[in-house]
């Protein structure tokens, strides 16, 4: 055991070997420090903080001007200026830390939004392909109007009025079919 300690001591004395860390080092949880920095930065940006600070400054100046026996910071108010400087020295880094953490959260949110948008786009493209294949499949099927038209064409006319009504219905169906086909073609062209 003593030999091992002696070897470790000799290794520490060698300059070409990295030394071991000795002593006490404080450890900070960056998330906890950032959390408190955000809370402080949020408080510094409120009207409540400004009102409290204004009241403190007014009371400070009133005490140091009006009551001679309580003067602890005469007219140039050097101690008050020192307090403001100290507050500013701590407030600025805390606000920057809070902003950096918010920026990191925003970056993560942007990446998630991009991934969600890419997934949505892929889903939309898949659905568009499926709809196009359904349109092609439906276009090859016999519709009710087509069957009715074929039956009307094959059935002998009862009278001229019935024949005219059938022709009118057939003309309307053909027009509707033509309009539907044109609309489908226009949609297909705009989808490409």
Summarize pLDDT for 114-142 with one digit per residue, the tens.
999 999 998 988 888 888 788 777 776 66
* pLDDT number for residue 192: 65
Whether 16 is covered by a domain: the verdict is no
- The range of the structural domain enclosing residue 72 comes to 28-116
Asked if residue 54 is part of any domain, the answer here is yes
Q: Count of domains in the chain?
A: 1
pLDDT of residue 164: 77
Residue 134 has a pLDDT of 81
In this prediction, the residues of the chain whose per-residue pLDDT falls under 50 are: none
DSSP string, the chain: -HHHHHHHHHHHH-TTSPPPP-S------HHHHHHHHHHHHHHHTSHHHHHHHHHHHHHHHHHHHH-GGG-SS-TT-HHHHHHHHHHHHHHHHHHHHHHHHHHHHHHHHHHHHHHHHHHHHHHHHHHHHHHHHHHHHHHTSPPHHHHHHHHHHHSPPSSHHHHHHHHHHHHHHHHHHHHHHHHHHHHHHHH-
Is 69 within a domain?
yes
For residue 1, the model assigns a pLDDT of 56
Do the domain assignments include residue 17?
no
Give the pLDDT of residue 112. 94
Average pLDDT, the chain: 80
Does the reported pTM lie above 0.75? Answer: no
- Asked if the structure places residue 97 within a domain, the reply is yes
What local confidence, expressed as pLDDT, does residue 114 receive? 94
Distance CA 71, CA 60 (A): 9
- Asked whether residue 189 is domain-assigned, the answer is no
Instruction: List the structure tokens of 37.
Output: 């920095």
What does the pLDDT read at residue 176?
Answer: 87
């Amino acid at each position: 055991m003593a030999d091992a300690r002696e070897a470790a001591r000799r290794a520490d004395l060698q300059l070409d070997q990295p030394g071991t860390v000795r002593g006490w080092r404080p450890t900070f949880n960056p998330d906890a420090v950032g959390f408190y920095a955000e809370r402080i930065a949020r408080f510094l940006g409120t009207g409540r903080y400004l009102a409290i600070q204004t009241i403190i400054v007014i009371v400070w100046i009133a005490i140091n001007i009006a009551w001679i026996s309580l003067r602890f910071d005469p007219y140039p108010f050097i101690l008050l200026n020192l307090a403001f400087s100290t507050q500013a020295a701590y407030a600025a880094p805390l606000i920057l830390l809070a902003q950096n953490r918010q920026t990191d959260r925003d970056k993560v949110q942007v990446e998630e939004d991009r991934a969600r948008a890419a997934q949505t786009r892929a889903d939309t493209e898949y659905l568009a392909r499926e709809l196009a294949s359904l349109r092609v499949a439906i276009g090859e099927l016999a519709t009710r109007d087509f069957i009715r038209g074929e039956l009307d064409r094959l059935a002998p006319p009862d009278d001229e009025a019935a024949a005219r009504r059938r022709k009118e219905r057939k003309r309307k169906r053909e027009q509707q079919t033509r309009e539907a086909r044109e609309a489908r073609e226009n949609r297909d062209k705009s989808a490409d």
